């Protein structure tokens, strides 16, 4: 017999929390009858300012099979949390999960932009991506580089050598599940290699918290600007110097004016 589930949960706290979050979101989506178009990421939506979809698309699943497949793979990849002796561990897992979720989503949009603007393939303008697969493929890739002797266990009975798992899974899912996002999975692999080879490095608690803070700010502001959710306590308005954004918190009478240079393509007005 294997070890009791409780002990495995204790040894994989971050993985267990993410699985719990994704499962809770799936349950909420099913209960509220929410569709792909409401939470998914597409080029068209991103160009309309729905940047919050980079996050919601990663943690949302529409079908139970999609959820089970991704969470089963993620549970196996949670072994990363137990590999502190080779420079991985819980902190590394949390830091780079954040990087994978954001950069893989941004890379997908970049690929869509290239295909639409350079090659005039309009099909990708409205393709909607949803699911945690990009992060799963990223961790497959990182583990394949850092610990090539590991195995990827799926559903408790299927075991794949981790060194081949990223591209095996990429081809397998593309054949078996035609609607699977090839570019989404590929972006996770690309970002995974960038992390594993040290091209993306230097993540620590300070940078992770800073990155999380900016993600929250962009998430809230893009929700407000796109009209997806009305934060009644928050009013976004222009100031005398249009290059400096300001955010007013209603009721307090206070206005916060940011002194940093604005991010191109994201304007608070």
| Residues classed as catalytic | 133, 185
DSSP-derived secondary structure letter, 263:
P
φ, ψ (nearest 5 deg) of residue 69: -60, -50
- Residues facing 154 on adjacent strands: 158
Q: How many residues does the structure list for the chain?
A: 269
- Contact status, residue 154 vs residue 101, Cβ threshold 8 Å: no
Helix (H) or strand (E) holding 160, with range, is strand 158-161
Reported as type and span, the H/E element at residue 35 is none
Q: Which of 78, 55, 65 is nearest to 26 (CA)?
A: 65
Query: At CA 121, angle to CA 37 and CA 99, rounded to 5?
Result: 55
Cα–chain-centroid distance for residue 2?
31
């Amino acid at each position: 017999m294997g070890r009791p589930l409780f002990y495995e949960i204790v040894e994989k706290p971050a993985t267990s929390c993410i699985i719990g979050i994704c499962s809770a979101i799936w349950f909420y989506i099913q209960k509220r009858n929410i569709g792909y178009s409401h939470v998914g990421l597409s080029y068209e939506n991103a160009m309309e300012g729905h940047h919050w979809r980079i996050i919601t698309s990663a943690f949302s699943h529409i079908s139970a099979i999609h959820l089970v497949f991704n969470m089963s793979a993620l549970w196996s990849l949670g072994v990363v949390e137990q590999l502190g002796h080779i420079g991985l561990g819980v902190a590394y897992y949390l830091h780079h999960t954040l990087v994978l979720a954001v950069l893989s989503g941004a890379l997908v949009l970049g690929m869509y932009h290239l295909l639409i603007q350079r090659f005039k393939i309009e099909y990708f303008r409205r393709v909607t991506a949803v699911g945690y697969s990009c992060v799963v493929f990223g961790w497959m890739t990182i583990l394949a580089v850092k610990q090539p002797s590991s195995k990827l266990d799926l559903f408790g009975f299927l075991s794949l050598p981790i060194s081949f798992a990223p591209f095996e899974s990429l081809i397998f899912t593309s054949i078996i599940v035609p609607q699977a996002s090839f570019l989404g999975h590929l972006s996770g692999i690309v970002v995974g290699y960038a992390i594993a080879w040290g091209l993306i490095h230097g993540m620590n608690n300070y940078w992770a918290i800073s990155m999380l803070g900016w993600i929250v700010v962009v998430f809230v502001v893009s929700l407000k600007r796109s009209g997806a959710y009305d934060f009644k306590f928050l009013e976004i308005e222009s100031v005398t110097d249009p290059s400096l954004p300001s955010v007013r918190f209603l009721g307090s009478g206070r206005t916060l004016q940011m002194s940093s240079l604005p991010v191109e393509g994201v304007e608070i007005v």
